[in-house]
Structure 1
């Protein structure tokens, strides 16, 4: 056995293990520490996902276990990129990560993590890597890969289940690439992996050369700059701290959390403190009080033990854990939507709310405009622009057709034509095109607006609503409306051998009205007035939705007033003398019975939101939006790759560029002895032209690995 500080990298036993392709024993032999983390069971004999540290065994444990990535002195032997399906679609992020590794000249091993769709990408280093370099790679990659769980690459206790280790919910971590375990064992062994330390410096340059995802939230102005993170002896949100805590926050802080929600309560508490503009030092003072350490901040001072017991951390481990958790919660709080009481975060928010309300009122006042063949797509695009305007506080928006298509449930070509029709009808205007995404501007509603009806003109121009009052209501309505229309059940087209058609977007518009008024039933007449369709058309869509159990019919049986004796609803009919009517077989006048029968014969309809997925599966159109998102991810990656190729073709070829190459958004300068960054060659045909079909197939193969 070896010591943590002088771990052997290449021994006869590791050669034998690599030859036998026993990956679990190989991980144990190459472990940078003399211990592993092993999962524990509860009283019912089930794995509870609470790992404790145990001595390094000779053989792999039978239950779930994890090996450390770094030594006790923070020297990393492996880099494991954990892509989690809980954070989003793993496929595009996996393709991007593998492209980075190939451009940096690094070898890798891809494995299924054991959970549904998760992936582990293992990269071995010839020599132990320093923690600052690994942390820089993890932070840079996490800004560009939404599904990457980079916490294990920044923590002293970062550990991952090796290939072949069982999962607590069943299954094991399985090898995906390379195909043979023997080749994977060679790539996981430091002596034969072929990954020098310079290659990891090159990886950092490759990642930093890719622009990070832009923050869609605008810069906020006012007394408190909400959402801006500053460094005040630790990260915190800009603004004046509010030291007075509300009742809910104090309850989280002082009460001991349940054994199964210790981390959840701590994360919620730290996020609330970050939103109150607390600094790291202010939270450290709370940790000095025993009441709070044993309350909501218990997770920062302890680690999971056996059963419901907690193991106390030493001072260094607790400090490192607190800094990591606080930084994560501050970053999360900066991306949260602003509360309703913080409407001063932008100067023109009230004007944006008023303009969006005018646009929605004008759109609702002319339902026939959206009842045409292209009307549902146009209304969906307009609602999306209004929703983004309310979220960003600006009427000038940059939105490409693919993002709009995925958000509304339509195709990219349909959204492109919808944008053009909205511009022709003066709903949208052209903005300054400063990037790859087209910039549009929501135009205000004026008295001469062609789509604004005469009956609705004048009222909204003089009597504006109270500023900021309807923002939350408009956001909720638009989110429900767009979510109801983007369901796979309402995809367009008739079913063919290669395509499964849904009910269509016109049926989606009818369902949107049912979903917006789920608190009450709507009659056929009211649906026709709100959608602009003919009664025959609405009845046809409702019949198909009823057959799929998406909508139900309800008969409204209520009390009615009596035309004969003027009895109020709920009262019995009376005779001319004032006595209660008690005739044989009836206690109401004939006119009142006739009125009740006429009103109860009117059909009313209610939605059944929980049946949308089941109905789409029954109709054969489930997964249309997911396949469209996958196709658009391939197109975006293909376009980006060709742009890099064009940039390389236009670059001067006289001589070889030397020295450090940096990007404008690169946070830090990294020195390297490499002459230049590697370039990923674009496929070419025999005559030297770009082979876009081969490039697309190569990208699809990478995404297919997920």
Structure 2
């Protein structure tokens, strides 16, 4: 029901081939025959800028991306059926990808933005650009040709609607809001302990090992719920936080209702079909590695969030969006040298903490940021100093005792965005839409941090430039020019880094461009390069250093005649002692080692910590 008088057609080049993705030539809609070249229809009219179609475009330009798009397609169609919304599903071309069309009864742009944000927080392969653009948002309709010679093919299967439903604009604003609410039920939560499964649960199933309280309902979700892929991943996160091994996860995947995703896969025609054993094992292994990566971030930053001021959260999310864009459009500042790449990574970690906590001020120890980013603590310290000098961050409070420094992310990224135009015309996002956008931004920040935190990209491995390029790769293909713009790396350095990544099969080259492997083989590459375990060794050393520092602070506090306050963070490796003496309660520390002259012997103290002998030292002290 688009009121525009034209459709948009693709134009062949001078050689008669179709190479462009643009549709610049109008074609009168009154002509009964369709254009001979690929063509699109606008989703909104040019009179009132109201949307008469919603087209959910699930990209799948590679076999790896197709696997993800099929899962998103299953989630989307199940959600539309639950909401009672008529729709028509199409395979967009023979190369893969899906278009799901919904006939709308004149929906305003503001509500379409809410729909795009809510859907984008759930569907990883969704290209939501056309849902946000009432001027030029367009898509190829069912049956239209593709430039590769194939057609947009209407799909058939269970509970499908005939294409005739698109002729009648039947989906109202009330229906769209119901769709938005359904998406928000599936939106990932920021705090793991607040996550709830989307679907009925079977309380008869019990995990064979201890698991966090929030993880058990996900294990018990019948059939994986309405989003089996997400629910199964939450099961893996719970297992990773609980310290399970991969063999434990394999055992649970055989029987846990919530891990149905690792036994069967979504069928495009409807329902689920069994997976091949080898493919199921590879998928479980791949997603377990990703869950362990995320669990490291969760452990390194376990603070509870307190939502107080949504206005502040709005500014934080805007800053995060602007920062991600600045990394792309300002390569001269953030990718000029390796030090700049380190600065952008450290800043990404601080912004992730801020977005996750909903507060400008975040408590961040240098070693915690080092563990979160995979960058050495000395390098993190230098980056923090440079970022502070440049005004990107501010140290609100210096470290004191065992309390880490408090940092505040500046508003430099969001200032221009916030002050464009009259203030009375500015409207903040509604709270639920703001949470949708935050979930999407968090996913982008976490993907960036997790992609680069690997032994492979340490100094002894492929280095920070290869890390930045790898972070920019996706499962869909990009040519070198697009990747140079996306990563901010000059084209010459980019091609050199891509060559190194391809040598170790971390990047795949094809006629369509460059992409990342879906199977994460970074640990195998690390072993081949001889750098496997470097980050684990660093984390262990950071733990020992935290422990020694806490011991020394307890010693100086006791000698000063003050009461020791036990306020150490969970990741400092707290030591509990069985007996008490004049030093205080059962949590207090033994006497700090000293040499014959009475000076602190830090080398001996570290030797005790490395040997795990603090309790033995305490017992010996009490026995004497």
TM superposition score normalised by structure 1: 0.40
Larger relative contact order (CA 8 Å, sep ≥ 6): 1
Larger Rg: 1
TM superposition score normalised by structure 2: 0.45
